[in-house]
Amino acid sequence: MVVAVVKCKDYSSVGKMLPKALSLIGGMGKYVKKGQRVLVKPNLLLGKLPEDAATTHPEILRAVLVELKKIGASVIVGDSPGMGNFDGIAKKTGLKKVCDEFKVEIVELKERVDVERKQNKLVKLFTISKLANDVDVIINLPKMKTHTLTHFTGAVKNIFGCIPGKLKPQFHLRQQDAHTFSRMLVDLNKVVVPSLHIMDAVVGMEGQGPSSGSPREVGLLIVGENPYEVDSVACSVAGIDKAPYLDIARKQKLLGKVVVKGEKLDSVKLSRKFLPARSSFDRIPKWIMKMFKGLFTAKPWLLPEKCIHCARCFEVCPVDAIKMVDGYPQFDYNKCIRCYCCHEMCPVKAIGLKDSFLLKIFKK
């Protein structure tokens, strides 16, 4: 399939550049017909400002809503953040304002439905958002970011937001290492299948993504039908050479040779690669990991001067490895399964990651 890559130097250019990108893959009309119910699924991970680069930028949503309005689709915008007040998150990220301008509803994906897919390799039954299951079309608006567990998060990982909020940590409990978690993601992407993926790669996030990293200008829109192809192009641009779920997708023949239209891929590859977010070695057998996880993984680490005592880390931890002592989290590293949900959900970057001795050497 084709992936469109177009330059988009800043967010004021998205309205002009998105139609160009869409025209390279057949136009929005190829994916959405008049009157169809469309769920637009941005990345609303947590309540951050657009310039923090943790969430989909409102100008991306605006440009998509303009295109959908031209077609006459019935649009709803929705996501399920891991934690926090949805309305507050929608406001802070700037997406609520854009939805209000277009008189489009923005909703938390709370209502659930069980969907079975017997052919799946690992997870055959998912509880997903009912809305995501019911609409005619889903348009995915991922953000280009590094990720502590899966190395990269883009189109494929953004679909994890279609799992209603509090159910997400359970997946981390069941699929603890990066490889198994990635197998689950590949299965999930067979159950929730957007028609189109429009990646916000104007400004991405590098380093300790998906929420505690640093904004990084990339200046691109990456658009396609196949989430693995979109992510694989984004990884090439960012110089991320390995994301476990892309390897799995290749093995399952979900990712093959990618045809890029628009910019030549070599011409848009960044000269300085994204700083990685890698926090563990891949494919370490479970029993070794259990016994020696301190050697192979980074551990969550409190930066007390930043902590605002909100206890979100405590609430999100799937294995009760955190207790709050005098308003600060205290980690039990024996219990900790290194899912990094606490790091991801901390609103003020007060949880860092401390590399193990081996990881430090490996990264060097």
89 sits near ligand SF4 (criterion: CB under 6 A): no
Is 346 a binder of ligand SF4 (CB under 6 A)?
yes
CB of residue 346 to ligand SF4, shortest distance in Å: 3
Contacting ligand SF4 within 301-320 (CB under 6 A) = 302, 307-313, 316-317, 319
Nearer to ligand SF4, 178 or 237 (CB): 178
Stretch that binds ligand SF4, among 7-15, 69-77, 256-264, 337-345 (CB under 6 A): 337-345
Q: Which is nearer to ligand SF4, 288 or 308 (CB)?
A: 308
Q: Please count the other Cβ atoms lying within 10 Å of the Cβ belonging to residue 277.
A: 27
Number of Cβ within a 10 Å radius of residue 24? 18
Nearer to ligand SF4, 25 or 83 (CB): 83
Q: How many CA atoms lie within 13 A of 124 on its CB side?
A: 3
**Spatial separation of the C-alpha atoms in residues 319 and 339, rounded to whole Å:** 10
Q: How far is the CB of 158 from ligand SF4 (least distance, A)?
A: 20
By CB under 6 A, tell whether 173 contacts ligand SF4.
no
- The residue from 240, 337, 356, 359 that contacts ligand SF4 (CB under 6 A) is 337
Please state the closest distance from residue 340 (CB atom) to ligand SF4, in A: 5
Tokens of 22: 């869409």
Please report whether residue 300 would count as binding ligand SF4 according to CB under 6 A.
yes
Q: Shortest approach of ligand SF4 to residue 347 CB, angstroms?
A: 6
- Least separation in angstroms between residue 166's CB and ligand SF4 is 14
Q: Please report whether residue 49 would count as binding ligand SF4 according to CB under 6 A.
A: no
Site string for ligand SF4, 317-336 (x = CB under 6 A): x-x-xx------x-x----x
Residues that bind ligand SF4 (CB under 6 A): 300, 302, 307-313, 316-317, 319, 321-322, 329, 331, 336-342, 346, 348, 350-351
